[in-house]
A and B are shown apart, each in its own frame.
Chain A
Amino acid sequence: MVKPTVVFKGTRDGLVIVLDEETDFSQILGCLEERLDTARDFLQGARVTVELGERKLTLVEAKKLVGMLRNRRGLQVIGFQRGKQRVRTLDGVIEGKSVLNGDREKNREPVEETGDRVDKVLSTDSSTQNRQNTEREGNTLFIRRTLRSGQSVNYHGHVVIIGDVNPGAEVIAGGDIIVLGALRGMAHAGGAGDNTAIIAALRLQPIQLRIADVFTRPPDDDQSLPAVPEVALLRDGTIVIDHYLTLGERLRSVTEGLIEEEKEEWRWAK
């Protein structure tokens, strides 16, 4: 049997595309395009890790691959993998190319920016984090209906829901989640590890909240959750809830280092 050039595998962390080690790169691209066209919509917006095996990939080739996956089906490449070694990418920007060509020592210098500020904002790099807290760009999915029990949305960018998120429904976003209604289900913002992501809702009454890799649930004893707009965000590794109306002001103060951020309304169980 002929070894397939490209293999799609579903894993818990998303889709993995395994590239055959020997086949010529241009042939791989062609084969991939073909497979994506036949796969139609079900792959739309999926998060993908590319498994390289022993293959060496130049930066140009990697970018070509990332661009093609994004343009064809909106696939977001979240990382390249060679054996156990892994390079994360955020919104398609390759942060380091060491894994790509298998030479870790020589290629330490950072890859040049692609000039897309979105990627920088989405970066988890702490030095850019504070500066960018108040301005975020990126793909956004608008949902103009109520998500009911059993329905789920998984999107690599931000998600805005004009409606409610009912118990039993879930929203997973690479960026922020805004609910113009009641959030009563599960929401996971910063699904790819972005710990600057926030979750805002007119009524924040979730079953569970997750931001990046931190999760929390409302206190068991407090039945009467306030019916005012609120925002959940990560602070010192804990998810805290804040009044929506004062958030902009606070974020700016934090950014400029004016006040020590301590005065959150109430903390949720970690």
Chain B
Amino acid sequence: MGQVIVITSGKGGVGKTTTCANLGTALALLGNKVVLIDADIGLRNLDVVLGLENRIVYDLVDVTSGICRLKQALIKDKRFNDTLFLLPAAQTKDKTSVSPEQMAELCQRLKEQFDYILIDSPAGIEQGFQNAIAGADRALIVTTPEISAVRDADRIIGLLEAAEKNSPELIINRIRSSMVKKGDMMDIDDMIDILAIQLLGVVPEDDHIVVSSNKGEPVVLNPESKAGLAYRNIAGRIMGEEIPLLSLDEEESLFKRLKRFFGWAQ
């Protein structure tokens, strides 16, 4: 029996879709059978980030309204051997074309075939959000170190509690250690202090993200990327492994390390 995980944030533009694509890919790399559901009906993006846009025939609304069978709408990612699938959102409909009950039922069916079902929630707290959380067993809240994003995350946690989706976990995205050090950016402790939920991982700001999103290749496939490493670690933690948080300090140069080795620097 699989696990349904919703990825949500309240605020838009904090990296829900990127997180969803990368965690899904990382979980597939770790040998799980994964399906990603794009619940952002009318504003779909997940297919683009995964590079699967040109393969969409049927979508989520077609499945829930009985136009096609579930199997027909699932798009297989050919880079992986039968382990990563996408159920895309409809682009021409809106959020009211699916009900929370239909989503819950859909999740129930997918659970029988997959290890992890990741749902990419739309921004906002209206029906799209209610649909996205309806079938979820677990919730990941994505936030960035901005007061508005943290405020919205707090609101979302409250709404999840009201819907009896307890103990959501936090992913802090786009943190820049240099700005935090200078005191120009909220640090992790400030955010944990307010939100008071379990921290699942911290993803550093990384230029590779933009490049990989445009190319349709999730950044976890890039061994150079620090954000990719952070997402791989988070995927491991989702599976219950104990992985320490990534050190946010910039890579030390070999020279600096040598200096420290010989005791010349602090």
Cα of A167 to Cα of B152 in the assembled complex, Å: 10
Q: Is the CB of A150 within 8 A of B196?
A: no
Residue in chain A with minimal CB distance to B155 = A149
**B1: interface (CB < 8 Å):** no
Residue in chain B with minimal CB distance to A184 = B194
Nearest chain B CB to A136 CB, angstrom units:
30
**A218: interface (CB < 8 Å):** no
CB-contact partner of A168 in B154, B159, B161, B196, under 8 A? B154
A168 and B151 in contact, given A148-B157, A148-B158 (Cβ under 8 angstroms): yes
Q: Is the CB of A167 within 8 A of B194?
A: yes
B154: chain A residues within 8 A (beta carbon) = 148-149, 166-168
Contact string against B for A residues 158-193, beta-carbon threshold 8 Å, 1 for contact and 0 otherwise? 000000101110000000000000101000000000
Nearest chain A CB to B189 CB, angstrom units:
13
**A146: interface (CB < 8 Å):** yes
B193: chain A residues within 8 A (beta carbon) = 182
A167: chain B residues within 8 A (beta carbon) = 147, 151, 154, 194
Q: Is the CB of A168 within 8 A of B155?
A: yes
Nearest chain B CB to A223 CB, angstrom units:
10
A168: chain B residues within 8 A (beta carbon) = 151, 154-155
Residue in chain A with minimal CB distance to B152 = A149
Contact string against A for B residues 155-183, beta-carbon threshold 8 Å, 1 for contact and 0 otherwise? 10111010000000000000000000000
**Most chain B beta-carbon neighbours within 10 Å: one of A166, A182, A184:** A166
B158: chain A residues within 8 A (beta carbon) = 147-151
A164: chain B residues within 8 A (beta carbon) = 194, 196
The number of A-B residue pairs with CB atoms under 8 Å apart is: 30
A184: chain B residues within 8 A (beta carbon) = 194
State the main secondary structure of chain B at its contact with A: helix
Cα of A167 to Cα of B256 in the assembled complex, Å: 43
B155: chain A residues within 8 A (beta carbon) = 148-150, 168
A146: chain B residues within 8 A (beta carbon) = 196
Size category of the binding interface on chain A: 10 to 19
Cα of A130 to Cα of B250 in the assembled complex, Å: 61
**Most chain A beta-carbon neighbours within 10 Å: one of B147, B154, B157, B193:** B154
Residue in chain A with minimal CB distance to B125 = A150
Cβ < 8 Å to A, chain B residues 189-236: 193-194, 196
Nearest chain B CB to A257 CB, angstrom units:
42
Cα of A168 to Cα of B155 in the assembled complex, Å: 8
Cα of A164 to Cα of B152 in the assembled complex, Å: 16
Cα of A70 to Cα of B254 in the assembled complex, Å: 75
A166: chain B residues within 8 A (beta carbon) = 154, 194
Nearest chain A CB to B152 CB, angstrom units:
7
Cβ < 8 Å to B, chain A residues 137-153: 145-151
Cβ < 8 Å to A, chain B residues 62-88: none
Nearest chain B CB to A195 CB, angstrom units:
31
Residue in chain A with minimal CB distance to B147 = A167
Residue in chain B with minimal CB distance to A146 = B196
Cα of A22 to Cα of B159 in the assembled complex, Å: 46
Cα of A149 to Cα of B154 in the assembled complex, Å: 6
Nearest chain A CB to B102 CB, angstrom units:
26
Nearest chain B CB to A204 CB, angstrom units:
15
**Most chain B beta-carbon neighbours within 10 Å: one of A151, A182, A184:** A151
Nearest chain B CB to A150 CB, angstrom units:
4
Residue in chain B with minimal CB distance to A166 = B154
Cα of A151 to Cα of B196 in the assembled complex, Å: 16
Nearest chain A CB to B186 CB, angstrom units:
13
**Most chain A beta-carbon neighbours within 10 Å: one of B159, B193, B194:** B194
Nearest chain B CB to A16 CB, angstrom units:
29
Contact string against B for A residues 57-94, beta-carbon threshold 8 Å, 1 for contact and 0 otherwise? 00000000000000000000000000000000000000
Cβ < 8 Å to A, chain B residues 112-162: 147, 151-152, 154-155, 157-159, 161
Cα of A184 to Cα of B196 in the assembled complex, Å: 14
A147: chain B residues within 8 A (beta carbon) = 158
Cα of A164 to Cα of B157 in the assembled complex, Å: 14
A151: chain B residues within 8 A (beta carbon) = 158
Given contacts A146-B196, A147-B158, 9 further A-B contacts (CB under 8 A): A145-B161, A148-B154, A148-B155, A149-B154, A149-B158, A150-B158, A151-B158, A167-B154, A167-B194
List 6 A-B pairs, minimum CB-CB distance, nearest first: A148-B158, A149-B155, A149-B154, A150-B155, A148-B154, A166-B154
Residues of B within 8 A of A (CB): 147, 151-152, 154-155, 157-159, 161, 193-194, 196
Could you pull out 28 A-B pairs where Cβ atoms are within 8 angstroms? A145-B161, A146-B196, A147-B158, A148-B154, A148-B155, A148-B157, A148-B158, A148-B161, A149-B151, A149-B152, A149-B154, A149-B155, A149-B158, A150-B155, A150-B158, A150-B159, A151-B158, A164-B194, A164-B196, A166-B154, A166-B194, A167-B151, A167-B154, A167-B194, A168-B151, A168-B154, A168-B155, A184-B194
